[in-house]
Amino acid sequence: MHLGRTVRAVLLIVLAAASVSCQTTEDLLSVRGSGSRFFGSVLNADLAARQPAPEQNQGLQRIGPADPPPSEVYTGSGYVNGQGGPFVPAGSSETAGRGTYRLNFENADLGEVVRAILGDALGRNFVIDTEVSGRVTLVSARPVAQEDLLPILETILRMNQAALVDTGSIYRIVFDSEVGTVPLIDRNDTRSGYGLTVVPLRYVSARTMVGLIEGFATRSESLRVDTSRNLVLIAGTAAERQTAVETINNFDTDWMADQSVAIYPVGRVRPETLVPELERIFETREGQPGADLIQFVPMSRMKAVLVVSKRPDLIRQAGIWVSRLDRQSPETDVQVHVYRVKYRDAKMLVQILSGIFTGSTATGIDQRGDRPGDQIDPRASLFQTSVQGETGDNLNQQPGLSTDQQDPGLTSGNTFDLTDTGRQPGAGDILAGPATGGNDRIRFSADTANNSIVVYADGETYRKILAALRQIDVPPLQVAINVVIAEIRLNDQLRYGVQYFLKSGDDGSIGLFNTIANNISRELPGFNFVIGSERSPDVIISAFDEITDVQVLSSPSLVVLENQTATLQVGENVPVTTRQSTSNIDPDAPTVNEVEYRDTGIILNVTPRVADNGVISMTIQQEISNIASGGQTLTPTFAKRRISSAVSVVSNQTVLLGGLISERSERNDTGIPGLHRLETIGSLFGTKRNQSDRTELIVLIRPVVIRQGQDAQHVAEELRARMWEMNTRARD
């Protein structure tokens, strides 16, 4: 039996860390020649459990913002008018001195008052229009300076609808309506009398200035605006014009000269968020005490806050508060975090996280890209099997049952396709840029070179992401799978097949399995056949060998990661003609054949999944194929036996898959030519022999979950024990 040599080769491969491979029987012939040296190296190997290096504190690498640029403060004068001094009341005169005249007119004639002031007091020549008349009562409480007499006279004349016009050598007193052309007087000229003053503006528009001074600095009808040259024209008496000019001078100032301005960059918060907080602190909203004292303007382009105030002390206080408020709690601070993946692929984790936190469509994809619906429920039909046979393969069944009958409660079988067809188109698009889905404050990107995930999120969200990663990025479980693929010759005891023999309760050498099978069938109906965890495939094969001939086709032992597919293939690539073409133009042209290669031999695909309770769900595809006929041509006929099944078993439990029966009939008629074919005496000159050979293909699979180093050590020690037993038998 080739079982011993196959197991020995498998152990050699496992100890060499090639977990998904095996050797054929022919390949093992070279191993026997090594003798005791081979067994010595295996039996003395160090199988102690190894532990991975301790994890570094890599939880996250946080990248903070760069330091903001320094603040810029520009302090103003702090005064209102352009001269840099206190406000000067209109109408004041620096030449006002001690009073020298007392005015006392009681119901006097207007002409007498003019004569007394212009002629007697000021010594000026004047002419009074004959139509100008009126009565005046004027009494001064204290002495009046000489410089104030002329403005007082102009006030008296205005009260009587008259005006004083200075023509240079003489004053004319006429009605207001007869003033006519008046002289143009410079804004700094203090000449008395009715005139026109032109005031050019520098900082304020003329239209705005007129709106400010009309009605209280001078009469509105005395003001004119030249918007093209930004001029204000004032018509009136000297006192009126002087008052208006002084008022304009106080308004027409460089308003920035008395403003203090500061630019405070912020590094951790947005200016739009910081400005409302500053406004609440300084009470600058409408109706609050500081509404006109200080202003805050967010500058998104510069990521800074602009502060404007007439008081430099407020500017300094604002800078202090900007520094105090320019910080965020780690819970709300949006930062870049780096998570170094420990066990899984960064791209796959990004797809999962994007589906959870950003609403992306890249969801429902596992490591192999299977469709979300292709999951195995161990509480449903644990053996959902599809069996296919070609060229002489028959489905093993119990007598009296048709092939489409099932026990009550069974679900229909499914054939699981292991090709990667479930991945959604565009699932990897998220890796090219920010993840989309309605939340622009969360982004994921995979750093494939370092197998890391770059996360852009605030601290609170990242804690949730990190909690999810700790549940997802876990060490993958490994499954050690011991498989025995054998072909059993069916004799009288096994005439109905292996499975029926095990369930029938016949008194045979392997009848001890009957009780175990019945108990499990009641708990989990639908099993092909499950043998207790204390039975290994080698024991079962040895039991079958007691009652019939058993040929072990392959006995691989391999280790595979959870949710990954382990593939075993031993055989040949057979060329097959798929298309022939000849030329219709040139009869001498050769025939062109298109040939493709078909895999034959033993092909096994196993994909395990491990549940939390230790139940292992496996998707199994087993195929044995060979050339049935036409082996010397490019159009051979293949004989193929295939099992496609999904099973669930407990760790260290053996499952038996069978039922593929192959029958070959052989008839031989030999003897003396011509004579052995005679009807009566032909048997005297020859022999006839009819031989029928029926075999059944069975697959024994025992998976063992490797959760830690000790489990791997136990698996290796078990294989070493088998090797020790084989070595002992070989010596005997």
pLDDT tens-digit readout, 231-267: 888 877 777 788 888 888 888 888 777 788 999 999 8
How far, in Å, CA of 239 to CA of 686, rounded? 159
Which of 298, 326, 354 is the last residue in one of the domains? 326
Count the domains in the chain: 3
| Helix, strand, coil fractions of the chain, as percent rounded to 5 | 25, 30, 45
Name the β-bridge partners of 384: 646
The whole-number pLDDT of residue 391 equals 41
Residue among 191, 244, 251, 192 at smallest CA distance from 222:
244
- Contacting residues for 387 by C-beta, under 8 A, at least 6 apart: 395, 642, 643, 644, 645, 659, 660
Q: Rounded to whole angstroms, how far apart are CA atoms 496 and 513? A: 18
Domain range spanning residue 159? 100-251
pLDDT at 466: 92
Least confident range of 98-107, 491-500, 621-630: 491-500
The reply to whether 600 and 709 lie within a common domain is: yes
Same domain? For 195 and 244 the reply is: yes
CATH number, domain of 197, equals: 3.55.50.30
The answer to whether residue 115 scores a pLDDT higher than 80 is yes
Work out the pLDDT band at 696, boundaries 50, 70, 90.
Answer: confident
276 occurs within a structural domain: yes
Report the candidate in 698, 659, 647, 623 with the shortest Cα–Cα distance to residue 384: 647
pLDDT in tens, 346-368: 999 999 998 888 876 543 344 44
Q: Please, which pLDDT band fits residue 650 given cuts at 50, 70 and 90?
A: confident
* Residue type at position 378: P
pLDDT by residue (tens digit) across 156-195? 887 788 888 887 788 888 887 666 555 545 555 555 666 6
pLDDT level of residue 335 (50, 70, 90 thresholds): confident
- Answer whether 140's CB lies under 8 Å from 104's CB: yes
713 pLDDT higher than 70: yes
- Residues 287, 194 within the same domain: no
Query: Residue 388 falls within a domain, yes or no?
Result: no
**Final residue of a domain: which of 233, 251, 269?**
251
Count H helices, E strands: the chain?
15, 31
Domain end among 273, 308, 326: 326
Q: What is the CATH number of the domain that holds 278?
A: 3.30.1370
Q: Which long-range contacts (CB under 8 A, 24 or more apart) does 145-149 make?
A: 145/95, 145/96, 145/97, 145/98, 145/99, 145/100, 145/101, 146/100, 146/101, 146/121, 146/122, 147/93, 147/95, 147/96, 148/93, 148/96, 149/101, 149/117, 149/121, 149/122
Structure tokens at 274: 């910081």
Residue 621 inside a domain? The answer is yes
Together in a domain, 243 and 111: yes
DSSP 674: T
Question: In whole numbers, what is the pLDDT of the chain averaged over residues?
Answer: 70
Do residues 147 and 269 share a domain?
no
Residue of 47, 49, 14, 46 lying closest to 710 (CA atoms): 49
Cβ pair 253, 203 in contact under 8 A: yes
Give this prediction's pTM: 0.46
Closest CA to 697 of 660, 644, 655: 660
Rounded to whole angstroms, the Cα distance separating 374 from 371 reads 6
Residue 510, in any domain of the structure:
no
Q: What is the pLDDT of residue 587?
A: 77
Q: Reply yes or no on whether the pLDDT at 13 is more than 50.
A: no
**Predicted pLDDT at 69:** 72
Q: Residue 402 above 60 pLDDT?
A: no
**Residue 51 confidence (pLDDT):** 64
